[in-house]
A and B are shown apart, each in its own frame.
Chain A
Amino acid sequence: MKTIDEVLKEKQTGLYFGNRLILPFHANFLKVIIDDEIIYDFSPGSKGIMIVEEKEFTNLYFLEHQLLKDSVSKYEAVKMIAVEKSKNIFDKANHKKLAVYLEENHTARIEEAGNDILFIE
């Protein structure tokens, strides 16, 4: 199982199908922004998102959206703040701001959200 840093370094991509985003790492998610929806609730009963971990990847099901491609324009990204499972969630230095761009052929390009991307934690 790769870490977030390894995924970013190797430019590994994820996948998306329908309202499901598949990321090639495990993480604790603190905030996810899709369209103008801000999701903080990742509990099992959340009405915004359902997270299902598999052995080698993590599924994010966006319950309020039918097709992710319809909700995110080609210039926008699904933004998230994620923390490696092995790291201390209370140390803000471990908070990774990620931007996931939905490209053709169900490819989800994962980047670290740099200063150019407007992303307020």
Chain B
Amino acid sequence: MNRKISILTPIIIILYAADLFGADKVLQNGEHHLPSAFMVIPFIVLLLMIATGPLFYKHFWEHHYPKVAIFLGLITAGYYLVVLNDTHSLVHTIAEYISFIALLSSLFVASGGILIKVDKKSTPMLNVLFLLFGAVISNIIGTTGASMLLIRPYMKINKDRIKPYHIIFFIFIISNIGGALTPIGDPPLFLGFLRGVPFFWVLENVWYIWLPTIILILAVFYVIDVMNKKGDSSNQEQTYTGKIEFKGLKNLVYLLIIIISVFLDPAVLSFVPGLSPLPFGIREIIMFSVVYLSYKNADQEALKGNEFDFEPIKEVAYLFIGIFLTMIPALQLIAYEAGVLSDKLNAGVFFWATGSLSGFLDNAPTYLNFLSAAMGKYGLNVNVIEDVREFVFRDDIYLQAISVAAVFFGAMTYIGNGPNFMVKSICERAGIQMPSFFTYIVKYSLIILIPIFVIIWYFFFLGKG
């Protein structure tokens, strides 16, 4: 703890001394310094290490990934502080990271204290209905909450014939695409909501894209699962009670607190006080309090049944601080280039550009940067709430493309969205050998998701904007 305080203290002192919380640091001509293109190297290195570490130097990676992620992040942070003299970008990023990890960690811990036991026979149709249920509730308790709540009962139902594809489709649907209908569902939509996108805008404008996508993916899953079921000869005579049991339902109160706290932002409710210049607000304080209280008061049997461990969220926390920091130059360069080329960017281009990068960069900051580029077409500023609302009203096809792509393409890799990693970790602890980073992409994402996304693009975004 003392070491952590000593690392944070100089950073906080620098930020305060520079008196740059919330203030723009601009050049005389009014433009920000752009980072050197070489500064994307730490991000690329981190990305490559996340992909190759578990494969080729597992021991080193498992013991040292926090140091690697923080070290690479500090390189970028140091560059912005010392070379660019730009603390604004850092403060914004840290604030967004704190919001991100507050939401994910509170959902992770609160749902980890709820145990669901399902004693039913695994069938393709039951799995389809289960995944569909998960897709719906991920919009209420977030893709993280839904993933943590449902992954274990899902594995238990299928324990006699489970294959990696069961988990991959779970990641596709419940950990990602399912949560495309509300700001609570997925972090990029949450950030959009904070910036001024109306809460129900997503539901009204995405549901008719969400529904056929979910149906298509479930249809593919059903066919694969039927073929898998045919070859399964295990436990044909086992009987099932058909019961569904719950333990630790008191943690639903904490989930409710988290959902309500999403709205406790001065930008959303004017009576909520801000805590500027701190890079967090009342919402984050409530969420971190939920982490503590929901764990302390959790049903012990539920924690034991879920084999609760902080390691998955710890892994997300360390890796994503590295990703958030090292990603700053990449996103700024992308936003700049997108602004320069904005006249040439139609909805289809925004869809594919946002999507391609969301799969490899975290989808939340990627969403914001492409939103910024799209708003740039109209001379609007993503940092001004009124501008965002005007943009939504004026022509929302771009926002629709960016929102859909940011959420959907988060399913493309293990690092596309926070819950992906957590689900992988939980499954490995249960004994399921999960595909490697590259196998996931080559064998599943490219073959299943990309054709479906092409269909979506063709019908909803081709030639528009």
User: What's the least CB distance linking B31 to chain A, in Å?
Assistant: 46
Asked if A26 is at the interface (CB within 8 A of a chain B CB), the reply is no
Chain B residues whose CB sits within 8 angstroms of the CB of A73 once the complex forms:
307-311
**Interface residues on chain B, size class:** 20 to 34
Q: How far is the CA of A64 from the CA of B430 in the complex (A)?
A: 19
Asked if B431 is at the interface (CB within 8 A of a chain A CB), the reply is yes
Cross-chain contact A119 with B431 (CB below 8 angstroms): yes
Which of B36-44, B155-163, B179-187, B382-390 is found at the contact surface with chain A?
A: B155-163
Cross-chain contact A120 with B432 (CB below 8 angstroms): yes
Q: How far is the CA of A12 from the CA of B308 in the complex (A)?
A: 25
Cross-chain contact A120 with B159 (CB below 8 angstroms): yes
Asked if B117 is at the interface (CB within 8 A of a chain A CB), the reply is yes
Q: How far is the CA of A82 from the CA of B152 in the complex (A)?
A: 23
Asked if A118 is at the interface (CB within 8 A of a chain B CB), the reply is yes
Q: How far is the CA of A64 from the CA of B57 in the complex (A)?
A: 12
Q: How far is the CA of A35 from the CA of B424 in the complex (A)?
A: 12
Chain B residues whose CB sits within 8 angstroms of the CB of A117 once the complex forms:
307
With contacts A118-B155, A118-B156 taken as known, whether A75 is within 8 angstroms of B309 at the C-beta atoms is yes
Which of B298-306, B365-373, B392-400 is found at the contact surface with chain A?
A: B298-306
Q: Give 1 or 0 for each of B254-278: 1 = CB within 8 Å of chain A CB.
A: 0000000000000000000000000
Chain A residues whose CB sits within 8 angstroms of the CB of B307 once the complex forms:
73, 75-77, 117-118
With contacts A75-B304, A118-B156, A120-B162 taken as known, whether A33 is within 8 angstroms of B431 at the C-beta atoms is yes
Asked if B425 is at the interface (CB within 8 A of a chain A CB), the reply is yes
How many residue pairs bridge A and B at CB < 8 Å? Answer: 54
The answer, among A37, A75, A119, for a CB contact under 8 Å with B430, is A119
Cross-chain contact A38 with B431 (CB below 8 angstroms): yes
Q: Give 1 or 0 for each of A20-41: 1 = CB within 8 Å of chain B CB.
A: 0000000000010101111000
Asked if A121 is at the interface (CB within 8 A of a chain B CB), the reply is yes
Cross-chain contact A118 with B159 (CB below 8 angstroms): yes
User: What's the least CB distance linking B351 to chain A, in Å?
Assistant: 35
Chain A residues whose CB sits within 8 angstroms of the CB of B62 once the complex forms:
64
Q: How far is the CA of A120 from the CA of B307 in the complex (A)?
A: 14
User: What's the least CB distance linking B166 to chain A, in Å?
Assistant: 10
The answer, among A31, A64, A76, A116, for a CB contact under 8 Å with B431, is A31
Asked if A79 is at the interface (CB within 8 A of a chain B CB), the reply is yes
Cross-chain contact A121 with B431 (CB below 8 angstroms): yes
Cross-chain contact B117 with A120 (CB below 8 angstroms): no
Cross-chain contact A75 with B308 (CB below 8 angstroms): yes
Cross-chain contact A35 with B311 (CB below 8 angstroms): yes
Chain A residues whose CB sits within 8 angstroms of the CB of B304 once the complex forms:
75
Asked if B296 is at the interface (CB within 8 A of a chain A CB), the reply is no
- Chain A residues 73 to 121 lying within 8 A of chain B, measured CB to CB, are 73, 75-77, 79, 115-121
Asked if B64 is at the interface (CB within 8 A of a chain A CB), the reply is no
Asked if B230 is at the interface (CB within 8 A of a chain A CB), the reply is no
User: What's the least CB distance linking A59 to chain B, in Å?
Assistant: 21
> Which secondary structure dominates chain A's binding surface?
loop
User: What's the least CB distance linking A93 to chain B, in Å?
Assistant: 12
The answer, among A31, A35, A75, for a CB contact under 8 Å with B303, is A75
Asked if B4 is at the interface (CB within 8 A of a chain A CB), the reply is no
User: What's the least CB distance linking B301 to chain A, in Å?
Assistant: 9
The answer, among B58, B59, B152, B310, for a CB contact under 8 Å with A118, is B152
Asked if B429 is at the interface (CB within 8 A of a chain A CB), the reply is yes
Chain A residues whose CB sits within 8 angstroms of the CB of B337 once the complex forms:
none
**Which of A31, A36, A79 has the most B CB atoms < 10 Å from its CB?**
A36
Chain A residues whose CB sits within 8 angstroms of the CB of B432 once the complex forms:
120
- Chain B residues 124 to 173 lying within 8 A of chain A, measured CB to CB, are 152, 155-156, 159, 162
User: What's the least CB distance linking B116 to chain A, in Å?
Assistant: 12
Asked if B232 is at the interface (CB within 8 A of a chain A CB), the reply is no
Asked if B428 is at the interface (CB within 8 A of a chain A CB), the reply is yes
Cross-chain contact B429 with A33 (CB below 8 angstroms): yes
Q: How far is the CA of A115 from the CA of B160 in the complex (A)?
A: 11
Which residue of A is nearest B117, CB measured? A116
Q: How far is the CA of A69 from the CA of B134 in the complex (A)?
A: 34
Asked if B433 is at the interface (CB within 8 A of a chain A CB), the reply is yes
Which residue of A is nearest B54, CB measured? A36
Q: How far is the CA of A43 from the CA of B432 in the complex (A)?
A: 21
Chain B residues whose CB sits within 8 angstroms of the CB of A79 once the complex forms:
431
With contacts A73-B308, A76-B309, A118-B156 taken as known, whether A38 is within 8 angstroms of B117 at the C-beta atoms is no
Q: How far is the CA of A35 from the CA of B310 in the complex (A)?
A: 11
Q: How far is the CA of A68 from the CA of B446 in the complex (A)?
A: 39
Q: How far is the CA of A36 from the CA of B423 in the complex (A)?
A: 11
User: What's the least CB distance linking B40 to chain A, in Å?
Assistant: 30
Q: Give 1 or 0 for each of B20-44: 1 = CB within 8 Å of chain A CB.
A: 0000000000000000000000000
Interchain Cβ contacts under 8 Å between A and B, 27 examples: A33-B428, A33-B429, A33-B430, A33-B431, A36-B425, A36-B429, A37-B428, A38-B433, A64-B58, A64-B59, A73-B309, A75-B303, A75-B304, A75-B306, A75-B307, A75-B308, A75-B309, A76-B307, A76-B309, A79-B431, A118-B159, A118-B430, A119-B430, A119-B431, A120-B159, A120-B162, A120-B431
- Give 10 closest A-B pairs by Cβ, nearest first: A36-B428, A73-B309, A120-B431, A118-B430, A75-B308, A76-B307, A75-B304, A36-B429, A75-B303, A33-B431
Known: A33-B429, A37-B428, A73-B308; 6 extra A-B contacts, CB below 8 A, are A33-B430, A75-B308, A118-B155, A118-B430, A120-B431, A120-B432
